[in-house]
Structures are given as C-alpha cells and as structure tokens.
Amino acid sequence: MAEAFCFLLRRDLSEAVPDAQWPAGIEWSAYREELAPAVHQLMQLGHLEGGGRVPPLNEWRQQFASDPEYDPALCFVACDAGGVVGVAQCWTSAYIKNLVVHPRMQGRGLGRALLLHAFSAFQKRREGFVDLRVLEDNLRARRLYESVGMDLVRRELVAD
C-alpha cells in the first residue's frame, strides 16, 4: 500500500472571522442525540469521498459521546427540508475533527458557513487558533480551507 499524507492546517483566530452566510433553506443546530442516525449516515457518505472510515452506528455513538474532547455544543449540524446536509464535528481542543457536506449541497457555500461558524464559536471560547487535518490529495477541501484563511502547519504521514 502506498503511503498517504495529510496536511495539518491552522486558522489564526486573532484575526476577524467573517459572519457565516448560510445557504437558503438551511437551519443549523448543535448536535442532539435524536440526530445521531442522520449525522452518522452523512459521515459515512462523506468518508466514501474523503477517505477514512466511520464505525457502525452504535459503536460510533459510543465513541462520539465518550470522547474526552466531545462537547455537543461544538458539533454543528445543518439541515434543510430533506434532513441533515452538513456537519462540523469539533473537539474542545480547538480542532475540527470532521467536516462533511452532503453531495447535493456541495458548491453552495455550506462547508464555508460551517467552518466560519466553528471559527466564531472557538473565538468566543477565547481560543487562539483552530486546526484540522485534510488528506493531501483532497484538493477540493484544501481549496475551501485555504479560502477561509487556513494555513499549512506541516505535512504528516497518515497513520493506519
């Protein structure tokens, strides 16, 4: 198997963060347990495109809720009339663990809105920066992250 690499990206939060502009028909909320099946399904769909894996629902729920950095107030869920279409799962260490946008909503500004909303939430928590990792070959995501002011910290070998 060929080695895979990712980039650690960082956004300085001492700089102004633009307000999130949500696409029409989108409402966001913090994660709630009743959203778990739909959030899990979206994350599975997102990982098919972006790499990685998502464990089965019950295992995922357990890992999600028992993670020491888990705070449901830092998991932002975007919904439209058809259900969950976007998720930004963040950790208390000012780290964006997952950002997933449903394929039918891609290219409409939802990923950008979720990121800017997360940045603003971390600013309110007085964090100095926010980090995330992206696979080196995920050019679409890298362009999005660069467009919201994220800078390369380092290139890392992806651990199995």
In tens, the pLDDT along 110-136 reads 999 999 999 999 999 999 999 999 989
In tens, the pLDDT along 91-113 reads 999 999 999 999 999 999 999 99
Does 19 score more than 70 pLDDT? yes
Domain boundaries, the chain: 18-125
Does 53 score more than 80 pLDDT? no
In tens, the pLDDT along 1-10 reads 678 899 999 9
CB of 78 closer than 8 Å to CB of 27: yes
Q: With H, G, I as helix, E, B as strand and everything else as coil, classify residue 71.
A: coil
May I ask the CATH architecture of the domain 18-125?
A: 3-Layer(aba) Sandwich (3.40)
Beta bridge partners of 85: none
